[in-house]
Amino acid sequence: MSYNNFKLALNDLFNKQKNCDVTFTCFADSSSEAQKKTIEAHKLILSMASDVFDAMFYGEIAKSEGMKESIVKIEDIQFSTFKLFLSFIYKKTIEFETPEIAAEFYYTAHKYNSKDALKFIKDFMLKELNPQNATIFYDIAYLYEDFELKEACIKVFTENTFDVITSPKFMSAQPKTVETIFKSEILNINSEMDLIYALERYIQHNKEVDSGICDKMRPALNCIRFLTLVPKDITRTNLLTSDQVKDIIESIPPDGDLSKMPLMLSVNCNKRGKNIAVDNVKMFRELSEVFWSKSCYACVSKGEAYSNHPVWMCSELNDDFRENVTKIYLKYNHVWLMEYELSDVKTIYDLFKGAGIFLSHI
């Protein structure tokens, strides 16, 4: 029998529910109805696609839990998703109507350890990944420590931040996913106000179903760089108390007192913005922290204690380094790399790299 004929035969068995020897009961997609639906299958076919099914029907699970009966209750997977999973096993072509169903399919494939199904859904997610579904796919990737999918999602977060945080799907993201977005060194946003508005909408959307949502979102709030904003913008948010607003405004550089900054809130003064080319994200990530810091990493690399001077004023570095970096700094008169011309950023990066500063920072 050819492979195509074999697929047709499997399809026919499943479609017509022929000679089935196991029945699954699942919750209907509308949980409010609390109804269940059933679907039948063949133990042997399922056992070939999943070692969990094999153990369930023929192995130790069957012996220990009395699985000789032919009814299996599925309490954690919606009927439509489980049917898609079985359809895949029976070689049917399947499609996902929503990213949520795709995520539940991933969960199902992982639960039953179906390697073919896992590869299929992972390839699908990587191919179809976009700003509208990235938070949903990241949630599942984080849950199962899928490094490749996580990195792909983070890339979307970085390159398309504004589209991600204004997507309706963002409202259902897990708090940890929101924090992951907010703590990224490079974000494609107009200013930190985009993050503030997104977090305000997120809390407003979820507070009726989760009374503790404000506490859960504290880590994300702590990632917002309020010190990059002007006082007028800071006063607009409802995420802060009036005392916090006052203390933040009094902390804004260059004349502010950072000791007044509210506990746990970010003291990072480096802006994140849209004018960063995607190809240069890695360069900005490596350069940003060491450049804006008042602590000299060049001194640390030589075994000395932290010094209270910027790296470009360090006497341990040669005159050409200090002269070139200082010249660029004075051109802009601030350390917000996002507003520097790309050619100047590249020059600084090459100078720092040549001086071994990135290695000393690590």
- Nearest of 123, 122, 115 to residue 50 by alpha carbon: 115
- Nearest of 285, 292, 244 to residue 269 by alpha carbon: 292
Residue boundaries of the structural domains of the chain: 3-94, 140-260, 278-361
Q: In what order do the strands lie in the sheet with 22-27?
A: 36-41, 22-27, 71-78
| Neighbouring residues of 23: CB distance < 8 A, sequence distance ≥ 6 | 38, 39, 40, 70, 71, 72
d(CA 22, CA 346): 64
pLDDT for 137-170, tens place per residue?
999 999 999 999 999 999 899 989 999 999 999 9
CATH 1.25.40.420 assigned to 140-260: yes
- Residue 199: exposure state from Cβ atoms within 10 A (0-12, 13-18, ≥19): buried
Stretch 300-318: mean pLDDT:
64
Percent of the chain with pLDDT over 70: 81
pLDDT above 50: residue 120: yes
Are the CB atoms for 89 and 60 separated by under 8 Å?
no
Superfamily of segment(s) 3-94: Potassium Channel Kv1.1; Chain A (3.30.710.10)
d(CA 243, CA 39): 59
Question: Pseudo-torsion of CA 4, 20, 30, 92, nearest 10°?
Answer: 0
Q: Is 240 left (phi over 0), alpha (psi -120 to 50) or beta?
A: beta
Is the entire prediction scored with pTM above 0.85? no
Asked, as a colleague might, if the bond just before 254 is cis with ω within 30 of 0, I would say yes
Q: Token pair of 305, please?
A: 């204690």
d(CA 293, CA 203): 33
Name the band, by pLDDT with cuts 50, 70 and 90, for residue 29: low
Run of H or E including 77: strand 71-78
pLDDT above 70: residue 280: no
Run of H or E including 71: strand 71-78
Name the more confident of 56 and 179: 179
Strands 71-78 and 36-41: unpaired
Stretch 306-315: mean pLDDT:
66
pLDDT for 334-357, tens place per residue?
655 656 777 888 888 888 888 777
Range scoring the smallest mean pLDDT among 6-20, 96-110, 242-256: 6-20
Count of residues making up the chain: 362
Tokens 């204004």, residue?
Answer: 166
Residue type for position 138: Y
**What is the per-residue pLDDT for 185?**
82
